[in-house]
Amino acid sequence: MSENQSISATFQSHMENPLLWPILEVLRGAPSGWKVHTLAAHLNDLGLMPLLDSVPEKDLFKRNFLIMNALYQLQETLYPDNWLQVQAMDIELIANLKSNQNAIDHEDPLRDYYVHWHNYEADEGEVKRLLNEFWTRYRKFVGSTNGVDMDRAKALSLFELPMDATQVEIRKRWRKLALKWHPDRDQGNTSKFRVLCEAWNILRH
């Protein structure tokens, strides 16, 4: 891989794919019957999946990559409370009663391919710009306040984290809180989730 296509280890470990949250919402509404291309079409209908490349074949590849990457991130986020079956032609969110029959296979070559951003065939800067665009779209989708009255100190307070919290700690707390308050959860709260999104927008950089 050329130098300008390098992806740092830190980026690989900590970059959040914002598509996992709208995908979670979709799967909560309809847990089964999804394929990568039907999920992509649905996200496009929601205004969350822009054109990624002017060349149709590359656009298809990039859509597939981003969705599979988000699915594997979501699988890890939901496990072990729920099981997300990730197969290109059979995506299913399985209730927690069945989740103990499954386990994340970190040696799965397909998973290994899609969790590594360098396979997206872009440098780190381009991937960051793309995911920032996705995050901006999602914030608007859930009703962004554009960070009004939100700064790092307030964001960390909402996350119940100290001022010297690491990015690993911040991301871990974000996922925990987002899962708890996501509107499609039984005890979810749309307003609380929206505020947490604004806090995460400040802290994710």
Rounded mean pLDDT of 140-166?
91
Output the pTM of the full model: 0.88
Residue appearing with tokens 């914030």:
139
CA 8 vs CA 3, 60, 159, 167, 185: distances in Å: 11, 25, 27, 15, 34
Q: Which residues make Cβ contacts (< 8 Å) with residue 155, sequence separation at least 6?
A: 198, 199, 200, 202, 203
Q: How many angstroms separate the CA atoms of 148 and 68, rounded?
A: 33
Q: 109-127 burial, b if ≥16 CB within 10 A, otherwise e? A: eebeebbebeebebbbeeb
Helices (H), 79-189: 96-99, 109-114, 124-142, 152-158, 167-181
Taking only the tens place, the pLDDT of each residue in 53-74 is: 999 999 999 999 999 999 999 9
- Is residue 99's pLDDT more than 80? no
- Proportion of the chain above pLDDT 90, given as a percent: 68
Taking only the tens place, the pLDDT of each residue in 171-205 is: 999 999 999 999 887 788 999 999 999 999 999 88
- Is residue 3's pLDDT more than 60? no
Burial of 54 (0-12, 13-18, 19+ CB in 10 A): exposed
Rounded mean pLDDT of 97-114?
83
Give the model's confidence band at 5: pLDDT under 50 very low, under 70 low, under 90 confident, else very high. Answer: low
Rounded mean pLDDT of 4-22?
78
- Proportion of the chain above pLDDT 70, given as a percent: 94
* pLDDT at residue 1, rounded to an integer: 41
Q: What is the mean pLDDT of the chain?
A: 89
